[in-house]
Amino acid sequence: MPGRAGVVVGIVLWGGCTGLISVEAGDVRAAPVPEVAVVAALLAVAFVLRGPRPFTALGIVLGALLTQAVAIALTPATSFVTAYLVPCAVLAFSAGRRSERSVPVVAMVSTAALAALAAYALASARLGDARETLTGIIDWAGAVAVLVAIVIAPWLMGRYWRRHAELRTAGWEIADRMERARDLDAERARLRERSRIATEMHDSLGHELALIAVRAAALEMAPEGDGARGAATELRAAAHGANLRLREIIGVLRENAEHSEPEGAQRPGEHGMSGMPTSGETVEDVSVLVDRAVRAGLSAHLIREGPDTDPASPAGRAAHRVVREALTNAARHAPGAAVTVRMVREDGDSGGSTTVLVSDTGATASSPGSPKTPQAAEGGSGLAGLRTLVEGMGGDFNAGGSTEAEGGGPGGAVGGSGRRRGFGVSARIPDTADAPADPAPAGTETARRLHGARRGARRRLAAALAVPAALVALVAVAGFGVLWYLGTNSVLPPQDYARLSIGQERAAVERMLPRFDYPADELVDPPPVPSGATCRYYLVEWENGLPPVYRLCFADDRLAAKDRIARG
């Protein structure tokens, strides 16, 4: 809390904690003034440092608390000022609010626990009694539980409060970012639509324009008069120019869309990504596509092997697009070439697949100059879309040119004019593949930040509740385990008690006694001890509450008295 408000809060906290300690110290100390003065000065330093050095401030008050605990463990003093716990809890909460670091808190609590253990060990060693040693371990376990309650729990709660405050204050910033992102999203949506339309134009109109060019070439070669030939030439030139213009527009639209979208953004409904026809497009078989190309003048023939692929299935639609793009490339870049379309349907253990092979023999020598390969003319944008489509469906795609000797197969040279360069496209499409779906739009940065803040707050709250509870439960189990061990080893069985007789030697009696005796100070108003005797007490049975005890009194190294004392 910056500024004047933070100073006021620090003064109020210092005054409250100092007042509590001074009041309680005055009740339990004979001379509390020096101790209160020292503690007041330490608290003043701690509350000044709680902003810039929160862990230093916590260490100061934790050190004062530990000093008091060690002094009580090593001296006969029994009065503990519990008000020391209040500033520890306050500054632990403040440290959690101001810093995400956890190592300083863990180090301080561990050091305090080890120092307390050393103090209790020294006290037990000084007394030299096994029962007192175990009792000291129980007291130390209680001290560790107190450390967890006044340091770990408030610190974890402060961390949760910090995350929760960030979640609250981030609301206005998130709203501002959402308003600015709304305009950007609208612009991206417009560009995505332009890119989608451009791709659809490329897939559908590009094929038709290529067939128009084939028809025009056939008309140009017809033996009619010069006027018809000139008209055909103009027709072909116009179709070719329109095709070039179309691809130029597509390139511009795609480039603008790609530059306006962040990396990884998806274009919904775009053929170049999904490659599948829209719901309103007519589904036709590959044979219809090849027949239309033949009627336009393209030398193409279809070879099928195996059963036909369902043209309405995702695999059938993908095969349709592969053939259409390959025929378009052949008509555009290899006029006069013979095109072979081979559809191979295969069945396998993991499911069937459709293999599409489309190859041409390359442009003839008498054809007008054209690029020899699709890549040379268009940079392979159509083939890149096919590759994305087929590989996205789990298949394989390959495309490239080949040069073979005269008389070679598809993709090689035909006729008698030496070597020619052909081009081939092959795709294997599994029948089990689904159409590549548009991935779910990635969450916005606002949504990610909000989700992260909420998740962090929930995690901090769970830690603030679960970690202290688990630590206290662990310490409690250990403490009760030691208590059970002490209790069960302080029981003198009734049959052993009955075997004891007055006047029996002490050494013989002690061989029958349990490992630990019951502390005499736990008894309220016990019977008077016989003159000149010393007495020891043992539990009749191990149970909750105030079970009865046996009293054995010894004088002159012999058993002088034995009796059963009922309590409660």
- For residue 538, the surrounding DSSP H or E stretch is strand 534-539
Distances (CA, A) of 147 to 100, 110, 113, 446, 468: 20, 10, 8, 40, 10
Phi, psi of 412 (to 5 degrees): -105, -160
Measured distance CA(554)–CA(532) in Å, rounded: 9
CB 305 within 8 A of CB 343: yes
What pLDDT is attached to residue 278? 43
Nearest alpha-carbon partner for 442 in 173, 181, 170: 181
pLDDT per position as a tens digit, 432-444: 766 554 444 445 5
**What DSSP line would sit under 125-187, residue for residue?**
HHHT-HHHHHHHHHHHHHHHHHHIIIIIHHHHHHHHHHHHHHHHHHHHHHHHHHHHHHHHHHH
Beta strands across the sheet bearing 338-346 = 299-305, 338-346, 353-360, 420-430, 396-404
Judged by average pLDDT, the poorest of 57-61, 101-105, 292-296, 422-426 is: 292-296
> Is residue 341 very low, low, confident or very high in pLDDT (cuts 50, 70, 90)?
very high
Measured distance CA(251)–CA(232) in Å, rounded: 29
Long-range CB contacts (within 8 A, 24+) of 451-456: 453/163, 453/166, 453/167, 453/170, 454/167, 456/163
Q: What angle do CA 14, 19, 24 make, to 5 degrees?
A: 135
More confident of the two residues 215 and 258 = 215
Q: For residue 562, give the 3-state DSSP assignment.
A: strand
Largest CA distance in the chain: 152
Measured distance CA(285)–CA(303) in Å, rounded: 13
> Is residue 372 very low, low, confident or very high in pLDDT (cuts 50, 70, 90)?
very low
Nearest alpha-carbon partner for 190 in 261, 93, 133: 261
Polymer length of the chain? 568
Structure tokens at 333: 């870049």
More confident of the two residues 203 and 152 = 152
pLDDT per position as a tens digit, 80-116: 888 889 999 999 999 988 888 889 998 998 898 888 8
pLDDT per position as a tens digit, 186-198: 888 877 777 766 6
CB 316 within 8 A of CB 284: no
What pLDDT is attached to residue 414? 36
Q: Is the pTM of this model over 0.75?
A: no
| pLDDT of residue 200 exceeding 70 | no
What pLDDT is attached to residue 194? 72
Measured distance CA(11)–CA(70) in Å, rounded: 29
pLDDT per position as a tens digit, 177-188: 777 777 788 888
DSSP state for residue 406 in the 8-state scheme: B
pLDDT per position as a tens digit, 447-476: 666 677 677 777 777 777 787 788 778 878
**What DSSP line would sit under 347-400, residue for residue?**
--TT--EEEEEEEE----TTSPP--SSHHHHHTTHHHHHHHHHHHHTT-EEEEE
Domains annotated for the chain, with CATH where assigned, are 3-179+451-480 (no CATH), 281-437 (3.30.565.10), 489-565 (3.30.1450)
**Segment 418-437 mean pLDDT:** 72
| pLDDT of residue 281 exceeding 50 | no
pLDDT per position as a tens digit, 474-500: 878 887 888 888 888 889 999 989 999
Beta-bridge mates of residue 423: 360, 401
**Segment 512-530 mean pLDDT:** 84
